[in-house]
Amino acid sequence: MNKYLFPIYAIIIGVAIAFLTKKQKSIYTKLLLSFSGAFLLALTLFDLLPEVYEHLNAKHTGLLIMCGILLQIVLEFLSKGAEHGHVHIHQKDTKFPWLLFISLCIHSFLEGFPIHQHNDMVYGVLIHKIPIAALLTSFLLQSKYAKLQAISFMVIFAIMTPLGTLASNTLSINPTYLMSINALVIGIFLHISTTILFETGEGHKFNLSKLVAISLGVLIAYFI
């Protein structure tokens, strides 16, 4: 049951953080982003990547991973990078951000698929979603969108990952196709996590707190 509920808990925690801090982006959010990026990257390398290469043709797997990276680039073109902490919502804009909404829903739905075969991945998704939900909520609070629209946005965003897990768990999908989807998701995870790690640094200066956050993310992922 946790594999369905944890992604929803992540959104609830992120929303709570946004309401408590009332800030667009704090140093703690940046550190949490760094930790989440390292944690998600490490879990992907430790758990997902070896399995898909074991069950699929190596070159085919590499192609699918690259397709996942390209897919995430397209999704980020629509969302302007919301998946890794960049949320660009104009405060005077009252039109619902459909491109952002659709992009985040596709991303969230796909990231739910590997959770069925790898319960540990739910922790990576949980940690990844908390700072994203916090930043997204902060911008929605500052926007001119109707409250019902903002609430509906976050509710649907919250349930998309569990829906992906449910689809992976209940639909009669050929195991080879499931592995192919996982390879695609690996590309998505690789792109997001590495982008987070590169972008949370300021001016490429040495940052001890960021290094500690990244090291903790890798270490915890290793021992899960």
Mean pLDDT for each consecutive 10-residue tract of the chain (224 residues)?
Answer: 86 89 66 89 92 92 96 87 62 74 92 80 88 85 82 93 92 89 95 83 68 92 87
* DSSP letter (8 states) at residue 201: S
How far is C-alpha 135 from the geometric centre of its chain's CA atoms? Answer: 13
Q: What pTM did the predictor assign?
A: 0.87
pLDDT of residue 26: 62
**125/40 Cα distance (integer angstroms):** 7
Give the burial string for 129-139 (b: 16+ CB within 10 Å, else e). Answer: bbbbbbbbbbb
**196/138 Cα distance (integer angstroms):** 19
Residues 193/144, Cβ–Cβ less than 8 Å: no
Q: Residue 123 belongs to what domain range?
A: 2-82+90-223
**Cβ-based neighbours of 159, under 8 Å, separated by 6 or more:** 8
What is the tally of structural domains in the chain?
1
Q: Phi/psi zone of residue 125: left (φ > 0), alpha (ψ -120 to 50 degrees), beta? A: alpha
